[in-house]
Amino acid sequence: MIWIDYTDPTPIYEQIVSKYKNLIVRNVLTPGEKMPSVRSLAMELSINPNTIQKAYAELERQGFIYTVKGRGNFVAENTNLKDMKQAEILEKLEGLLRETEEAGVEISVLTDYINSRHKDI
Amino acid sequence: MISIKGITKKFDDYIAVNQVDIDIREGMVFGLIGTNGAGKSTLLRMMCGVMEPDEGGITVDGMPVYDNPAAKEKIFFIADEPYFFSHGNAVDMEQYYSMVYKSFDKAEYYKLLQQFGLESKRKIATYSKGMKKQLAVILALASRTDYILCDETFDGLDPVMRQAVKSLLAKEMGERGLTPVIASHNLRELEDICDTVGLLHKGGVLLSKDLDEMKCGLQKIQCVFKDGAAYENALSIFDIIKKEHRGSLYTLTVRGGREEIAKKLGQIDTVFCEVLPLSLEEIFISETEVVGYDIKKLILEV
């Protein structure tokens, strides 16, 4: 379901975290669905199981999955996920606003663009 | 756990391994990096109990390993040039190894041979170099030992085989807690699979650390400062290990976690800035430059 980009300098476990986050937020993986076991994912991707373990721990810490002892990892209910994603997007927007300001570009250029694209999306 | 304490090995006047202390924990992939002649193979041979150290001791799960079958039984050593009986075939090797290792799994062995497409009745002398390596790996996996020591094993395998072997190691780690120790001079390879990495140079250990700890502790910042004051500010806020610049673009290697660094960057007036992860090679270069070695001359191509 996911694949690792070895040319990307971001650590492998971070790639796993972000790819699964993506799948969960987009509802490709639905709440209550079982995540692949650490062992099977490690075999499938040919990577260290400890790396998968770390990624899962991080996904759990961020609230995307939960662990049932003896049964495995499952996708969490996503009532908060959309909000979290929204917050992430707004944060990126903040960064873009700063760039816009620094570049001397008018904010109205951004708002016009958003309005014109709003109809298409 | 494999516990290596104060290990020294000399060949006449040549000190191959010099006062090495390393602990290899179960369930972790330990990477041993070093250039040719750094002492990796010598260290591995002492770890599996076939070579006696001149000083110090090695224990495997609490048992001293040298010439001790009870301890040696827990380890399989895959030499960089695997040795087979000169007229033997894969079946002969299985018969021998299953005598030596009580935990040898015959069914698994033949299953793997088939998976890898190796003919069991064909003389090993007619195998290609890569096939011989594959056979050595299969013997290791089928022996079901707690530890597998790989001496530059991946270097002789093609990319497809490499993934296959990594996948099998991952399976064994998950299923029965296998602990692989991988010696190599290929940093890129080790970077992806190791939990802990030890750098061996001229027989001594330059550093031995958890890979993620190493990566989390160092960051690379690329930035263009707004003015001289911003630059001075940066010098005072950051713990800078290395500083380079090309024109107005500065590349700083600093100590600290990524979030901490990103926050600090917010306080500096920059026209442009980016926090980038360091590759294992860059980390080693930085860490060893601090110690006083110019590692760039030592690390071979990645």
Segments making up each domain of chain A, as ranges: 12-75, 81-118
Q: What is the pLDDT of residue B27?
A: 93
Would an 8 Å CB–CB cutoff place A102 in contact with chain B?
yes
> φ and ψ at B15, to 5 degrees?
-90, 105
Locate tokens 């290899």: which residue?
A: B24
Q: How far apart are CA A27 and CA A37, in angstroms?
A: 19
pTM recorded for the entire structure: 0.81
Degrees to nearest 5, angle at CA B270 with B290 and B229: 80
Contacts of B111 (CB under 8 A, 6+ apart): none
Q: How far apart are CA A45 and CA B166, in angstroms?
A: 9
**Smallest Cα distance from B246 to chain A, Å:** 22
Q: What is the pLDDT along chain A (121 residues), one digit of tens a residue?
A: 888 888 877 788 889 999 999 898 888 898 999 999 999 999 999 999 999 999 999 999 988 999 999 899 999 987 666 777 788 888 888 888 888 888 888 989 999 989 989 888 7
Inspect the interface and report whether the beta carbons of B277 and A11 lie closer than 8 Å. Answer: yes
Assess contact for B42 and B51: CB atoms under 8 A.
Answer: yes
Assess contact for B78 and B141: CB atoms under 8 A.
Answer: no
The dihedral over CA atoms of B85, B90, B93, B99, expressed in degrees to the nearest 10, equals -160
Assess contact for B39 and B198: CB atoms under 8 A.
Answer: no
Give A-chain residues touching B276 at CB under 8 angstroms.
Answer: 9
Give A-chain residues touching B277 at CB under 8 angstroms.
Answer: 9-11
> How many CB pairs below 8 Å do chains A and B form together?
53
CATH 1.10.10.10 fits A12-75, yes or no: yes
Length in residues, chain B:
302
- B223 forms beta bridges with B250, B273
Q: Which two tokens stand for residue A119?
A: 């109809």
Q: What is the pLDDT of residue B294?
A: 62
B195: closest chain A residue by CA: A50
pLDDT digits (tens, 9 = 90+) for B45-104: 999 999 999 999 999 999 999 999 999 999 999 998 899 999 999 999 999 999 999 999
Assess contact for B84 and B78: CB atoms under 8 A.
Answer: no
Q: How far apart are CA A64 and CA A5, in angstroms?
A: 22
Inspect the interface and report whether the beta carbons of B193 and A49 lie closer than 8 Å. Answer: no
Would an 8 Å CB–CB cutoff place A89 in contact with chain B?
no
ipTM: 0.77
Inspect the interface and report whether the beta carbons of B163 and A46 lie closer than 8 Å. Answer: yes
Q: How far apart are CA B214 and CA B234, in angstroms?
A: 22
- CATH numbers and ranges of domains, chain B: 2-202 (3.40.50.300), 213-297 (3.30.70)
Q: Is A40 exposed, middle or buried (0-12, 13-18, 19+ CB in 10 A)?
A: middle
